Structure 1
Amino acid sequence: MLKFSASSFALALFLTFALPLSGQNERMLIDKVVATVGGEVVLLSEVQEQVAYARQQNSKISADYPCLVLQNLIVQRLLVHQAKIDSVLVKDDEVENQLDARIERLRSYFNQDDKAIEEYYGQTVAQIKDQMRNDMRNQLLAERMQQEITKKITITPLEVQAFFQQIPPDSLPFFNAEVEIRELVYKPPVNAEERAKARARAEDLRKRIVDKGESFADLAKKYSDDPGSAAQGGDLGWQKRGTFVPEFEAAVYKLEPGQVSPIVETEFGFHVIQLIERRGNLVHARHILIKPEITDEDLAKAAAKLDSVRTFILEGKLTFSDAVKLYGDKNAPSHNNDGRVANPRSGNTFFEVGDLDTNVFFAIDELEVGGISKPTPFRMPDGSRYYRLILLESRSKPHRADLRQDYNKIQAAALEQKKSDYLEEWMVARLRKTHLAIDPLFLNCPNLQEILAQTQRF
């Protein structure tokens, strides 16, 4: 990714989202406001929490780090202040979904042991979540407002060219060898015998819950095949209408709180569902998922099927795009992008060769551009066994950035720079019209002095 310096006022808007500190039960008993931005305030404790969290991650943080933290918090509060003026909204379910994701990451650090989390932080998971809620809402509001401010910013080819030409040749970034790949992900069909076994297992678990009064959560932890919710007793958190696949959604919205559904079959397997609570179009439910087993015979049939599809493509009877639409698993992230695989680190479709999954590397290592691998087995994130074909879309050698060869990357960097410049201008202009006060404790910070000087310049 291209990186270019910007002025000290072109700020990082996505703050480090600090978890509560070890042993912290509440905010400081003695606290004070260290900055006011319009109707929004920044507390000293917020700055100290960010600094302490950063120090936990890296003991060598700079002496001016508190100044930088306050700078970022001021920018965030300015965006939140403007969002409220412009009636930019963040829905409750968006906040809850983000909180659930944060909590799930926290749980993963502690091997899903909530008691260990409570011992370490001195708070229950529910208390931690409550403490994070307002900060999360502010973060989402700031992000949403930033998007609103810059959403109409576009860039022309001439601007991209000018952006590239102003970079000194010896400062051009060096790109390692990269490839672009496409994939056709094929889900082996479940045979009738394994499907019947899975349904029977789900029926048995439902009877144990409904007839014998066994704990839904305990059975989910022990038997559910959903890795994302099993450790939480099948808890799916608060979800809005439209989140679930149709069969699951139709069932969960028919339930009363505490009620357990009949067996529900979806493309993922068989579900036992319990509604915990409902608020309008929001539902809080838990489930147990039982997946039919994919046998070695099923996998062999899948490989043979894909080999036939590969032959059709190579003979020109079918394009790769059409094959993805006809045979690809619609739940694969690449399915709706013509099979193009996105790099989760960069967001684009380029992968450095060294970052490729080992199986992918060996599948394409000897392919020419446009070549298609033989059917390759792999596992989805949930552990399910699939097969796929991989097409080598492009391959580049190590090189310095080149406008023609790397246009998409340079265009993206130029657009981000243009947005950053526009955002800087917007913030300076907005702060001149917004009450800004900074506590004397921080007035010796050069970056904050610069902000005050810029916003008071007429």
Structure 2
Amino acid sequence: MKRLLLLIGALLLTPLAPAANLDRVVAVVNKDVIVESELEREVQRILSDLQRRGTAVPPRHEFERQVLDHLILRRLQVQLADQAGINISDDELNFTLQNIAQRNDMTLSQMRETIVVEGGNFREFRNDIRDEMRITQLRQKEVIDRIAVSEAEVERFLAEGGAAAAGRYRLAHILIPLPLDPSPEQQRRVAARARDVHQQLTAGADFASTAVAVSKGQQALEGGDLGWRNADELPAPFLAAVRDLAPGQISEVIPSANGFHILKVLESDAAGGRHVVEQTHVEHILVKVEPGREDEARARAQSLRRRILAGESLRDLARTHSDDPTSAIKGGDLGWVSSQSLVPAFAKAMQGLPEGELSEPVRSNFGYHLIRVLGRRSHDDTAAYRRAHAMETLRMRKAEEMTQTWLQRLRDEAYVELRL
């Protein structure tokens, strides 16, 4: 998601380069090609994003090669999504675009006008967002859904004190990758390359610019910025490397199975203690939106709302009409939930709803919801939070490593010819 939001922000605020006379093929990717106009457009987009961040830009040839690698990986994932039949309906895409516009304090029409006025192409913008959504679904299918975390792993994590996180860190990251099944000579060569990069950084080279130029991490073109992570969300070697570092300091080279890592602490803060959450007891009815039938779903939700206001039981209607099978069998009852566990549109509507009042139909990516709040409370959720957090932390650790390996295998197994 972070990658999607960064792409969205840059696309929304960056003029797109003209395509005229820039049609030379710069890479062959299986049976597809990437042309110079595509590369130049992406170069300009990322350049503008780096300039807004105040990140120094590496030499042009290094930067172009990094951007081309990024485009190749993106194209390979789109090709795989094609093969897997992963599609995004116009309704799903339009809903996402409306959310993007809202986050930028615009209507969808205003966002379209802004992109056009700044020299962009709204059709290309839509296509880029659709591809990012397809790639997200592909990674979910190919990587995330295959991750298993056992109860024994959770118990071991908790026993080692993993859930009592000692603070948070905002880190920047550089990965110098190893090939799959590297030979001893390849390991020595890559390790030497990592040490050389580390020496450049300790001698004063800009970390973000170096990440853009040399890192193969998933956030390389954002200067390697990983964002904020709880200490217990970091792989153990990462935490050991940064635990005693102050903001601005750089770790030693950290070896791993997929390469050599270098970290910089951008910011850090102290640990938290008890986890008290605001919870809401809520019930709902969900009306799913089938492709091309948005108006029909909205009308059905409105009809159910009128029936409830006229005296029919929400619980009875949920059992027979809700498209959420898990809650439907319980009469629409979701139990006590926190806003963080819900999709943003549902959470926002729930938070603003007085107890006992029935909402208007609320659109989320699942469909239209009718929501009623039954009660609110403050709840000490420390034990359950730590267990759930341990499970999610272990999943995230595995996801990062498995995604990196999956992308590397995808690239290694593809036919790629560079003509830059």
Task: Name the structure with the higher helix share.
Answer: 2
Q: Could you say which structure has the greater relative contact order, defined with CA pairs below 8 angstroms and 6 or more residues apart?
A: 1
